[in-house]
Amino acid sequence: MKVRDITECIEAFAPLSLQESYDNAGLIVGRLDDTLQGGVLLAVDVTEEVIDEAIEKGCSMIVTHHPIIFHPLKRFNSSSVVECCVERAIKNDIALYACHTNLDSAPGGMSWRLGQMLGVQNMEVLEPTVEGAGFGVVGEFAEDMPIEQFFELLHTVLGCKAVRHSQVVKPTVRRVALCTGSGASMMGAAAAALCDVYVTADAKYNDYYTPFGRFVLCDVGHFESEFCAIDILFDILTDLSKKISNFALHKSANSKNPMYYHV
């Protein structure tokens, strides 16, 4: 099996044409015609711990949500974590592939999966881009849910140690908008969708004033909102792993949140 067998399978679900102009999704280290000698490891980010895990498990490819290289590198002398990881991947013949904003906007992608995990029904795209694709989703619960119960749902399902939120404006939640990752720029779309709550990450101080009593902004954390990428990628590649007897697919045990909380 070659690297292109993996990339074609992923891109059939999340075409690279869907990625944003600033993004660097796709094959970052390696060549499409390289033969995969071992399995594929799935993670949120490429880190030194994930590289260690790939080597230990004999994986010759790492597929992540976030691209390890976002900005051009001018040198390779181990002076940064990014350089170290790329150098080690090359030395150990490990291909690196990222499925980022194309997975965010693909139909059935990141926000869709987050909505399913929370039990949101009747979902549709929050901010459409092209036919059938776009960022975020909006949907509803089968019945009204007390806001405190909704906060507990976020804690339980996403493993959130803290949920930052704006002022609570009503005691129950029915209509929900969601966008995995940094989605504060879409609060206007959330307001237009008449949601009761908007779940996203990386909100800034002034963003918590923006809802103006129309909805509750919930910041669950970037990693917490995007950890579901591993399961999506696993599902995409599972059929391929069943067809090829020597192909092992692994979910990383070392894909961890770089942000810590003192509670």
Mean pLDDT of 136-158: 98
Cα–Cα distance, 21 to 16 (Å, whole number): 11
Comparing C-alpha atoms, which of 89, 71, 92, 153 is closest to residue 117?
Answer: 153
Structural contact between residues 125 and 187, judged by C-beta atoms closer than 8 angstroms? no
Distance CA 67, CA 221 (A): 18
Domains of the chain (ranges plus CATH)? 3-100+227-251 (3.40.1390.30), 107-220 (3.40.1390.30)
Percent residues over pLDDT 90 in the chain: 88
Strand partners, 95: 61
Residues in contact with 210: Cβ distance below 8 Å, sequence separation at least 6, in sequence order: 166, 187, 217
Radius of gyration of the chain (CA): 19
The pLDDT value recorded for residue 53 is 98
What would the pLDDT profile of 43-79 be if each residue is shown by its tens digit?
999 999 999 999 999 999 999 999 999 998 988 999 9
Which residue did the predictor score with more confidence, 245 or 84? 84
Q: Indicate the pLDDT class of residue 239, thresholds 50, 70 and 90.
A: confident
Record the tokens describing residue 243, joined without a space.
């067809």
CA end-to-end distance (rounded Å), the chain: 47
pLDDT at 231: 98
pTM given for the model: 0.96
> Could you give the maximum distance between any two Cα atoms of the chain, in Å?
57
Q: Which pLDDT score is estimated for 200?
A: 98
Residue 263 burial (CB count, 10 A): 5
